[in-house]
A and B are shown apart, each in its own frame.
Chain A
Amino acid sequence: DGGITQSPKYLFRKEGQNVTLSCEQNLNHDAMYWYRQDPGQGLRLIYYSQIVNDFQKGDIAEGYSVSREKKESFPLTVTSAQKNPTAFYLCASKGGFSAGGPLGGEQFFGPGTRLTVL
């Protein structure tokens, strides 16, 4: 089945450590996104990539890094520079718009990773 996966589901990090969150999609989507969600709040964009080997900063990129070496994969590294990394992280991908099609343009989301700093 086509979809988007994230791993691990839960992740614990000690202060000062870097950790990498995995995001993989087999939907053949060009665009991929990373969001951070804090309790009871909306989604804030960290980074996004519209094509392989290219990515742009979102609204809260400080303390995070990404790579996009393959179309299917868009890993997010939370570095020690991120002062308050405890949050829920969502990865998403987006296909292109198709004229008249019922689907297109909407984002497909992974199940998320809950990161806790100990």
Chain B
Amino acid sequence: AQTVTQSQPEMSVQEAETVTLSCTYDTSENNYYLFWYKQPPSRQMILVIRQEAYKQQNATENRFSVNFQKAAKSFSLKISDSQLGDTAMYFCAFMKGTNAGKSTFGDGTTLTVKP
């Protein structure tokens, strides 16, 4: 079974600064996908960024980027130029690389961006 660990229950960052959220996972699979989801105070969960394990290049979406270390089974999220709207709970998730199956989620990191 896969496990996903987010070791930082809470973090805070000043507006316009950079913050990195940690995620580690454990799997024996070689083909899989990793995701970061954001849940703002509205509680509507949305996808932030997605990484395919077979790709060596780290995924980037505007101010969001990941540091994917496959050998270390690490998948951290970097948020640059933090904005007040980034305040949310962030979940790291793992999914096997098939069309079927379920995701395994971490327990989440609550990020607060301070003005």
Contacts and interface: CB of A to CB of B under 8 A. Distances in A.
B66 to A, nearest CB: 14
B50 A106 contact: yes
A53 interface: no
B107 interface: yes
Contacts of A103: 50
B103 A88 contact: no
A109 B91 CA distance: 13
Interface string B76-97: 0000000000000001010101
B64 interface: no
Contacts, number: 51
A16 interface: no
Contacts of A40: 110
Determine the interface band of chain B, counting residues with CB < 8 A from chain A. 20 to 34
Given A42-B91, A96-B99, A112-B44, 14 more contacts: A30-B99, A31-B99, A41-B108, A42-B105, A43-B91, A90-B45, A97-B99, A105-B50, A106-B35, A106-B50, A107-B45, A107-B93, A107-B103, A109-B45
Interface of A: 30-31, 33, 40-43, 45, 48, 50, 58, 88, 90, 92, 96-97, 103, 105-109, 111-112
23 contacts: A30-B99, A33-B102, A33-B103, A41-B107, A42-B91, A42-B105, A43-B91, A43-B105, A45-B102, A48-B102, A92-B45, A96-B99, A97-B99, A105-B35, A105-B95, A106-B35, A107-B37, A109-B45, A109-B46, A111-B43, A111-B44, A112-B43, A112-B44
